[in-house]
Homo-oligomer: A and B are copies of this chain.
């Protein structure tokens, strides 16, 4: 099972006159950003988004990305931990879909 990283940091980025960014807050933010700061994971996100119904099983990702199945699973786990995707088992396959609210949440880190 995957544990999500909590995030309540919408008001903490570079702005004049604010108080210093607390270390723990900075670390939480960095953890979220690290999840998307990887080329393979960006490709996975893009592939899921471009798929029909905006979901994809692991098997559809492995071949185009030219990586082994365990490596893809590793990246999917990272993305799930960051709350960016969710997996749902339907029969033999596990279907991953985007959590767009979470994507927007991370995007907002830049707008504060």
Contacts and interface: CB of A to CB of B under 8 A. Distances in A.
Interface of A: 12-21, 23, 26-27, 29-30, 33-34, 36-40, 42-43, 45-50, 54, 64, 98, 103-104, 106-107, 110-111
21 contacts: A13-B42, A13-B46, A14-B45, A14-B48, A14-B50, A14-B98, A14-B103, A15-B50, A16-B54, A20-B46, A20-B47, A20-B50, A21-B43, A21-B46, A23-B39, A26-B39, A26-B40, A29-B39, A30-B39, A37-B37, A107-B110
Question: What is the total number of copies of this protein in its complex?
Answer: 2
Contacts of A13: 42, 45-46, 49
Contacts of A48: 14
A16 B47 CA distance: 9
A62 B17 CA distance: 19
User: Interface majority SS on A: helix, strand, loop or mixed?
Assistant: helix
A22 to B, nearest CB: 9
Contact of A23 (B12, B30, B43): B43
